A and B are shown apart, each in its own frame.
Chain A
């Protein structure tokens, strides 16, 4: 007993706790949020609920993963929602004219990467800040798809719908496909970021660009690749969105995805200044954004206030990050 008390009052012990909490801040906020959700709805912590959560979070969550790469590298992408809309709209056209699911997936992935690469080239070769570039492409990409659809929706041919919607609606051994796809992509991205040279370079570029360049890292290449990967993930996300909705409304599809993705990254404990954070964090961050929506509904807060709550959360988490860094 004495020994236990001694360890408790030992400064070292608390320092270790503090170190742990700052390293796994995303885990603590996740557990905290789960506790809040369970208090509001005692049935919340169930398999069904959690797998539904994963399912609901998946489409935006995949984009959150790309966004984390960009933010770790010290950049940002506001155009993700518009990329999703443009890829999904044209994806419907490709699917309707070919009837081939694999060709459609290939189109989505390649076209998404292409749109991402435009962002990347403008940022690196054009030397324009990512915020400005993607603000411009956000508006440009959206405008193209709205014009192509003449303001109306892109509907998938009715004979294709029954089989095509199974991609998003189906499940494997009771696990929803969407949840499974999200989980698999998370693991792949997490491994890339933690265990490959490319991952190290992304962190290095976000932490100290000049030092990264002077150790021989191809800084422009890494930045472009981050945008391409984000574009690619937007393509995957667009494909899944097509299957889920079977109809893409050009002005609305993917709108405010950038907000949810950035919020997920922020709550996931990734430093908004770049250089620090882990993919497991942004995975849980994406879930948390979804959970907050659920909690707001359960707590009977009008859904119109969703944006307000997310805005507050972004500011609040970044504020906490700053406090942590200055201490």
Chain B
């Protein structure tokens, strides 16, 4: 399919989400769409999918003008949108999900299970997925669910696939499977729009790129003609110093001691120390029990055994407020579900944790809240027009800065950051790294849960690698390499590898 979108403009309220954007995808082409969060990628794709109507602009498919794009029309044209969020229903089987809303019936009006199951088998085999069409979706790993979602798009005649960050939930192996599928689809003449934040992936799979920034078209071209650095600069619009931040040796006293922490079915016998001013990264692969450990350390999950002591005081792990008062703050993962209070304005979202432990007055004073906001705005560099707008009016990066500020207000000794840069743009990521370093320099201790090596390498003094619910390895800066992390995260043990694998030997 040849797609041309010309002069597309979409206005939400007073903001131009997409401003006079031109976007072209050729036949049998994998086209990377780049942009920070809030750059207008999703809006543009929703216009293409017919979910949003543009205020101005035209869409041509194979040179033919499409008068008014609707979801129905876009479907009929063979445009399939694979969303970032999973749209599968857990309580139905795989084949029922695949055919949901487009069931095949027998001449008597009953569901033709046989045919649907056979066709599901066919499509799953085509993309080399060994999933039983009769399996419950509930029983699948999240990454497999994502692949089922892709199978769903291929079930019916499709000519253009839109993939919105399809690799977020996938393991490296599955990413490779996905890329194989994409290449084979391309071989059959399909065009694919691939949205991703991950540069190596974009460079590996895409032919062409288009960059959007602040709703405007910036540049289009071939990936083979640019470097990752150049792509990043286009994306951010300013050149950021992306060198590793300076790390110094940490020699502070042990402030936090975790001993034998166990939470059945998730993690077992976790023990480690944390020093003052130290940044400790904890990493691993999906299903390693890392997320549950983060919750348990903050008192948000029931533990079966073990203790956490902060400066000799045992933490009351059954009560989040006690843990907060003792001096532990936590930025949870999944900002949208676990941090953002969407109906409260920016000021209140920032102040809410402060109210819990520090605010001792009966009434809330607006002036104080404004003052608190302005103080944090300087520290975390939040870009906001009106602090009394709903927090959902901000971009992902700025939302996360508000959430980080929420916890900075507590002036805790220990900060647990669970996937703190999830779904935020490169610029905001860098600002958060800077902040982490500043906090450590001020004597705060931080535990960062992350799965991204470049991130860990930038900020961590030490890294624990988890595998199936236990700590498989502890790596200091000298042994902190992507290969080491992958080895231990996939279950290799120190004995097998030996201590040979240092930075120098690779």
Contact = CB atoms under 8 A, between A and B. Distances in A.
Interface in A230-284: 271, 274-276
B344 A204 contact: yes
Closest 9 CB pairs of A and B: A275-B343, A207-B343, A216-B356, A197-B355, A216-B321, A215-B353, A207-B341, A276-B343, A216-B324
A100 interface: no
The SS class assigned to the A binding surface is: helix
A133 to B, nearest CB: 24
Interface in B340-361: 340-344, 348, 351-353, 355-357, 359
18 contacts: A11-B14, A196-B364, A200-B355, A200-B364, A204-B344, A207-B341, A207-B342, A207-B343, A211-B338, A211-B341, A212-B352, A214-B320, A214-B330, A214-B338, A215-B352, A216-B353, A275-B341, A275-B343
Interface of B: 11, 13-14, 298, 300, 320-321, 324, 330, 332, 337-344, 348, 351-353, 355-357, 359, 362-364, 406
Interface of A: 11-12, 15, 195-197, 200-201, 203-204, 206-208, 210-218, 271, 274-276
A15 B341 contact: no
Nearest to B334: A210
A213 B343 contact: no
B356 A15 contact: no
Contact of B337 (A204, A211, A271): A211
Given A214-B320, A216-B324, A275 B342 contact: yes
A213 B300 contact: yes
B362 A204 contact: no
Contacts of B332: 211, 214
A208 B341 contact: yes
B14 A211 contact: no
A195 B338 contact: no
A12 B14 contact: yes
Contacts of B337: 208, 210-211
A212 B338 CA distance: 8
A213 B299 CA distance: 11
Given A197-B359, A208-B341, 9 more contacts: A11-B14, A12-B14, A200-B344, A203-B348, A204-B341, A204-B352, A212-B352, A214-B320, A216-B324
A215 B342 contact: no
Contacts of B14: 11-12, 15
A215 B320 CA distance: 8
Given A195-B363, A214-B330, A206 B343 contact: yes
A211 B298 CA distance: 14
B246 to A, nearest CB: 33
A213 B323 CA distance: 13
Contacts of B330: 214
B397 to A, nearest CB: 18
Contacts of B298: 214
A211 B340 contact: yes
A215 B354 CA distance: 9
| Central interface residue in B324, B352, B364, by most chain A CB within 10 Å | B352
Given A195-B363, A197-B359, A211-B337, A217 B352 contact: yes
Contacts of B342: 207-208, 275
Nearest to B300: A214
A87 to B, nearest CB: 28
Contacts of A207: 341-344
A204 B349 CA distance: 9
B356 A215 contact: yes
Given A203-B344, A211-B339, A216 B362 contact: no
A203 B343 contact: yes
A232 to B, nearest CB: 18
A15 B406 CA distance: 31
Contacts of A206: 343
Contacts of A204: 341, 344, 348, 352
